[in-house]
Amino acid sequence: MARYITITLDKRGVSCRALLLDDQAPRTCKAVWDSLPQSGSAYHAKYARNEVYTLVPPFAEPKPGRENPTVTPIPGDVVYFGFEAWEIGNPAYGYDEGSEAHSDQGATDLAIFYGRNNLLINGDAGWVPGNVFASITEGLDEMAAAAQDLWLRGVEGETLSFARAE
């Protein structure tokens, strides 16, 4: 049976619906589904281009490992990244000292991609593959417009939330 999640930019009141890709990323889908709801400060990517994401405490035990990976996500991809503390704590990334990026446990990055020509490479770490675990099926255009607004006007005070869809 198909499972869906709702992804929301809370302050902007914009949501989209995504289909879990249980056949392609079963471990990641299970880990995410079992952890929902999740919510955290919204960020717009600096390096990957057309990406909005949140960092939350690690929730998968054991971690899902690599499955259905990509370094070139397409519009509508919903991607899971698991980061160790040393991978994202660099002050150049711009995260506040108290953010999940500075946690001793590392962080889980839940991301959506809303446009083309994304490339997951980081100057400090190299390639950063992520697990594509869902695909946005409704509301991508509205989410893309809201994400572009984040890029132009800033993310301060915005949260990105993931929940099971009804």
pLDDT at residue 146 is higher than 70: yes
Band of pLDDT at residue 162, cut at 50, 70 and 90: very high
Q: What percent of the chain has pLDDT over 70?
A: 91
Q: Is the pTM of this model over 0.75?
A: yes
Reference 46, options 100, 94, 99, 85; nearest CA is: 94
Task: Read off the tokens for 90.
Answer: 């660099």
Q: What average pLDDT does range 112-139 have in this prediction?
A: 94
Number of domains in the chain: 1
Strand partners, 4: 19
Range of 155's domain?
A: 4-164
**pLDDT tens, position by position, 126-144:** 899 999 999 999 999 999 9
Q: What average pLDDT does range 119-127 have in this prediction?
A: 87
Backbone torsion region of residue 50, taken as left when φ is above 0, otherwise alpha when ψ lies between -120 and 50, otherwise beta: beta
Residue ranges with strand state E in the chain:
4-9, 14-20, 38-44, 51-56, 69-70, 77-83, 107-113, 121-122, 126-127, 130-138, 159-164
Write down the pLDDT at residue 48.
86
Q: What percent of the chain has pLDDT over 90?
A: 77
Reference 130, options 140, 139, 119, 141; nearest CA is: 119
pLDDT at residue 113 is higher than 80: yes
Reference 43, options 93, 98, 115, 102; nearest CA is: 93
CATH classification of the domain holding 103: 2.40.100.20
